[in-house]
Amino acid sequence: MVDFTLTDEQKDMREMAHDFAEKEIRPVAWEYDKDGTWPQDIINKAWEVGLMNTHLPEEYGGPGLDYLTGCVIEEEIGWGCSGIGTSLSCNGLATAPVILGGSEETKKKYLGMLTEEPKLASFCLTEPDAGSDVSGMRTTAVKKGDEYVINGTKCFITNGGYADYYTVYAKTDKEAGHRGISAFVVDRELDGVTVDKKEDKLGQRASNTATISFDDVVIPAENLLAEENKGFKLAMMTLDRTRPGVAAMAVGIARAAFEFARDYSKERVQFGVPIAMHQAIQFMIADMATKIEAARLLTWQGAAMLDQGQRNTLASSHAKRFAADSAMEITTDAVQVYGGYGFIKEYPVEKLMRDAKIMQLYEGTSQIQRLVIAREVLMPRRIEEPATATA
Ligand code: COS
């Protein structure tokens, strides 16, 4: 029997996350968005109550929550503010390759660091000339004895300006395309690491997005994750694991927009009745509600498959694609329900429409998700996953 009932623990976590979003995030979200304020105070509080690093295994100090619970939490935080939510959840993206490919020592050091203090880590894959086309990256890592020397520039790095370490992808064999990429952990404090630029963004303005340069940065060889030249697969495996979380955040944004639009439609009177009495508005509200339900189910499926140890590439891309596109449609329709007021910053929905846009862009655009879906549907293949560094 298929059962979509959450466990009592999952319900408790949802309630805790909702409460946090309502009391700590919502009251400042629109203000932080306006000024692009870095939410360090909220990061500290979220870390304190256990709403950060929820995915980290217990042996490294984390609560070791399952992916589905992570998505349930992420929806609530996204409902509060997805910009702040992105800052809170970015450690999940940065540490996935460490969990997948790090040696025991690497895991102890770099995962433990995040559970001992409210520290941050960033995922450095994208480059100015290599976005969707990961294999086109130019950053290099050259092995010299027991060390690697890293050179290159990564852009659009979430939390980049505040991270204590980075998981960095670099070419270890320039001629080998995707088979010549490796992944490393790089400490922020090392000589040659520079935070170059903070982006001024359309939405999610409370999150930090920076360019990071690596100029002859020397790291110990043990900071290699998995095997040399297996970094591309590690990146793909990471995104399979994190895209349901992005989808959940998109559901949270969509739900927030839906609730505002629903409530406003019952108050706003035109032609002598609340606009919710007009079928034109009712159908928009109905479509919003259906898309939210469908997006959540796809999200939960993507997460539940991971929890069951199944490969979830297709489900993950279905969820990310549909939830992101739905969030964009729903927030745009919420602005429409508000009419001219929706376009005014004094009202809540224009922020949500701006925030939703990044959902269709980061962690793989909606077009990349369709590419993955098309390949999985048309040419299903068996994918071999790299062994961890210790295996
Ligand atoms: N898990 C494990 N391995 C995977 C995988 C997955 N989900 N998807 C692909 N691979 C493997 C393939 O099996 C193949 O392995 P071999 O070397 O043994 O042949 C290899 O990776 C290359 O796969 P593919 O041919 O599909 O690679 P492409 O260069 O065509 O790229 C896309 C595939 C476009 C899907 C990939 O580059 C991508 O996801 N791009 C978007 C990146 C992104 O999300 N960026 C956002 C920044 S991160 S915030």
DSSP code string of 95-123: HHHHHHH--HHHHHHHHHHHHHSS--EEE
Split at pLDDT 50, 70, 90, the class of 390 is very low
- Tell me what percent of the residues of the chain surpass a pLDDT of 70: 98
Query: Are 327 and 250 spatial neighbours (Cβ–Cβ below 8 Å)?
Result: yes
**Is residue 135 in contact with ligand 1, taking CB distance under 6 Å?**
yes
Helix (H) or strand (E) holding 248: helix 231-267
Whether residue 240 has its Cβ less than 6 Å from ligand 1: yes
242 Cβ below 6 A of ligand 1: no
132 lines ligand 1 (CB under 6 A): yes
pLDDT band at 112 (very low <50, low <70, confident <90, very high): very high
Is 367 touching ligand 1 by the criterion CB < 6 Å?
A: no
Active site residues: 363
Q: Is the pLDDT of residue 94 over 90?
A: yes
**Residue 236 Cα to ligand 1 middle (Å):** 5
* Torsion angles phi and psi, residue 207, rounded to 5: -85, 155
Q: Tell me the per-residue pLDDT of 290-319, one tens digit each, with 9 for 90 and over.
A: 999 999 999 999 999 999 999 999 999 999
- The separation between the first and the last C-alpha atoms of the chain, rounded to the nearest angstrom, is 37
Averaged pLDDT, 104-110 = 98
| pLDDT value of residue 388 | 55
pLDDT at 198 over 60: yes
| Span 19-50, pLDDT tens digits | 999 999 999 999 999 999 999 999 999 999 99
3-class secondary structure, 379: coil
As a whole-number percent, the residues of the chain with pLDDT over 90 amount to 95
Distance 241 CA to ligand 1 centre (A): 13
Instruction: Quote the ligand 1 centre to 197 CA distance (angstroms).
Output: 28
| Predicted local confidence at residue 391, as pLDDT | 34
* Residue 135 CA to ligand 1 centre (angstroms): 9
Can you give the pLDDT at residue 179? 98
* 244-273 residue pLDDT tens: 999 999 999 999 999 999 999 999 999 999
Distances 273 to 267, 270, 286 between C-alpha atoms, Å: 9, 6, 19
pLDDT of residue 1: 62
pLDDT tens digits for 164-187?
Answer: 999 999 999 999 999 999 999 999
Coil, strand or helix at 326: helix
Query: Is 119's pLDDT higher than 70?
Result: yes
pLDDT of residue 389 exceeding 50: no
Residue 197 pLDDT: 83
Q: Find out whether 143 and 196 touch, Cβ atoms under 8 Å.
A: no
User: Average pLDDT of the chain?
Assistant: 96
Q: Which tokens hold the place of 167?
A: 């998981």
Is any atom of ligand 1 closer than 6 Å to the C-beta of 310? no
Is residue 382 very low, low, confident or very high in pLDDT (cuts 50, 70, 90)?
confident
Alpha helices per DSSP H over 102-213: 104-116
Helix 313-338 to helix 279-307 angle (10° resolution) is: 160
Q: Which range is least confidently modeled, 40-54, 200-214, 257-271, 375-389?
A: 375-389
Closest ligand 1 atom, CA of 313? 7
**Residue 387: predicted pLDDT:** 59
Atom of ligand 1 nearest to the CA of 177: 29
